[in-house]
Amino acid sequence: MKKFLSILLIVVIFSSCVSITDRKMTEQEMANANIGGKVSTTFTTFRFLHFIGDKSIKSKTQKEL
């Protein structure tokens, strides 16, 4: 039972660092993209075990921009 819980804990910790919804644009999408300008900003936020709430990140990003 301890081994199972240890493995489960490791899986949860490592899977929390990966966002499945984010991906890079494909070459075809880049070729068809209409880029009007470039914005660069840096902000920091704390998330317990790297769990990222999409709504809170998007709202904080909009506030910063």
Look at residue 16 and tell me whether its pLDDT is greater than 70: no
Q: Which amino acid is at 45?
A: T
d(CA 29, CA 34): 10
d(CA 34, CA 31): 8
11-40 mean pLDDT: 78
d(CA 62, CA 22): 17
| DSSP 8-state symbol, 17 | T
27-36 mean pLDDT: 87
Global pTM reads 0.28
Q: Band of the pLDDT at 18, cuts 50, 70, 90?
A: low
Mean pLDDT rounded to a whole number for the chain: 76
Higher pLDDT, 34 or 48: 34
